[in-house]
Chains A and B, each alone.
Chain A
Amino acid sequence: MVAELVLWGLVIVLGVMARARSPTALSEAGRRALAFARALAIRLPLALLAASFLTQILPRELVGAAIGPESGAIGILLATAAGSLLPGGPFIAFPLAVSFYEAGAGLPQLVALITSWSTLGVIRIVAFEWPMLGPRFVALRVGVTLLLPPLSGALAAGFLWVVR
């Protein structure tokens, strides 16, 4: 609810500012928004549907056990792969992460998993990023991002080692 209020408040403030600057600014902004909405109108509900189906059948116990604290670098790489396939927004992914933790996942592995879900999530890339930003941008961004989830897992392991 707070997020909605903040965003719509911003829309109103910026809308008033745009209208003050030029009489055509509002309709131009609306036209662009509508063009994007059209591009996503079909694939967004389908992506949500697919993510919900996959969430129902994800083998949580299996994933949690495979990325345990003793799984080390291999576990971090597995967690990176699993994270990129994790469906949905934070309302789906974080509860899943909790269930992986309860099933035995290690902390550095969980950090890599969440970084991977945030930066390399396949569903978000295909549903949003590709149609909006184009394949070349996606290829470049994914290319320079591939190593970041394992890096964050390794850093987390390092921090935990220093703290203990």
Chain B
Amino acid sequence: MRINRTDLGFAVFAAGSGALCAWIGGIEAIEQALGSAGRTLLTIVPLFAAGLLLAGLVQQLVPRDRVKGWLGTASGWRGLLLAVGIGIITPGGPFTSFPLVVALAEAGADIGVLVAYLTAWSTLGLNRILVWEIQLLGPDFVALRVAASLPLAVIAGLAARAVAARFAARPGSK
């Protein structure tokens, strides 16, 4: 396991926010933060493992020519709307969606489709709405927020296509 500069940055960030937390909230705040971070880690590890395996399997199972046809550069509005639909139903957190984006990109999905997918998943994801948002914020607020978020994914996808047509950008490229 190698430690790179980004990991070092995170270590500094965690240490800095920890020092700030101790300064403002004292030892009690530190204890609470450590407890909640530990509980969260235990919750997400099984989800994360499943998400990574799913992405690997999708990559093995989905034929490249199909992905190109359904979600490639020439897929037009149908590709964007399909991506929005998949984004809405994708279960799990970033542990499922980001690996899936990598898998689809390598299979030939278009950048607008990938951006529309991520935007739909993050703003309209059914799993998060049902499990967390309705319980905590109530159905009235959720209805307002979902209505205001409906056009966002398609707008982001179209914009990404327009930009990518000028500067070729692919996931994974430096």
Contact = CB atoms under 8 A, between A and B. Distances in A.
Interface of A: 2-4, 6-8, 10-11, 14-15, 17-18, 21-22, 25, 28-34, 36-38, 41-57, 88-92, 94-95, 97-98, 101, 107-108, 110-111, 114-115, 118-119, 124, 126-137, 139-141, 143-145, 148, 151-153, 155-156, 159-160
Q: Which bucket holds chain B's interface residue count?
A: 35 or more
Nearest to A129: B98
Contact of A141 (B21, B55, B118): B118
A53 B122 contact: no
A108 B159 CA distance: 24
B145 interface: yes
When A and B form their complex, which 6 residue pairs have the shortest distance between CB atoms, in order from nearest? A29-B56, A144-B159, A33-B52, A7-B50, A155-B148, A52-B33
Contacts of B128: 90
B13 to A, nearest CB: 5
A61 B147 CA distance: 28
A111 B141 CA distance: 8
Given A11-B57, A115-B152, A3 B14 contact: no
Most chain B CB inside 10 Å of its own CB: which residue of A45, A53, A130, A160 = A53
B14 A46 contact: yes
Given A7-B96, A50-B13, A136 B170 contact: yes
Contact of A119 (B3, B20, B54, B123): B123
Contact of B160 (A3, A56, A130, A141): A141
A144 B29 CA distance: 37
Given A29-B56, A57-B24, A124-B94, A111 B148 contact: yes
